[in-house]
Amino acid sequence: MSRRRFAHLTAPVVALALAACSTASTGSSTASSSAVPTGKITVLAASSLTKAFDTIKAGFEKANPGATVTMSYGASSALATQITQGAPADVFASAAQKNMDSVVTAGLAASSTAFAKNVMEVVVPAANPARITALADLAKPGVKVALCQAEVPCGATAAKVFANAHLTVTPVTQEADVKATLAKVTLGEADAAVVYVTDALAAGDKVKAIEIPADVNASTAYPIAALKGSANAALAQAFVAYVLSADGRKVLADAGFAKP
pLDDT tens column, 104-161: 999 999 999 999 999 999 999 999 999 999 999 999 999 999 999 999 999 999 999 9
CATH node for 118-219: 3.40.190.10
Radius of gyration for the chain, computed over Cα atoms and rounded to the nearest angstrom: 26
pLDDT tens readout for residues 52-85? 999 999 999 999 999 999 999 999 999 999 999 9
Classify residue 112 by burial, with Cβ atoms within 10 Å: 0-12, 13-18, 19+.
buried
pLDDT tens readout for residues 18-58? 344 333 333 333 333 357 789 999 999 999 999 999 999 99
CATH 3.40.190.10 at 39-116+221-254, yes or no: yes
Domain parsing of the chain, residue ranges: 39-116+221-254, 118-219
pLDDT tens readout for residues 155-213? 999 999 999 999 999 999 999 999 999 999 999 999 999 999 999 999 999 999 999 99
Contact in structure between 175 and 146 (CB atoms under 8 Å): yes
Using alpha carbons, select from 180, 125, 120 the residue that is nearest to residue 148.
180
What's the pTM value of the predicted model, to 2 decimals? 0.84
Same fold, 39-116+221-254 and 118-219: yes
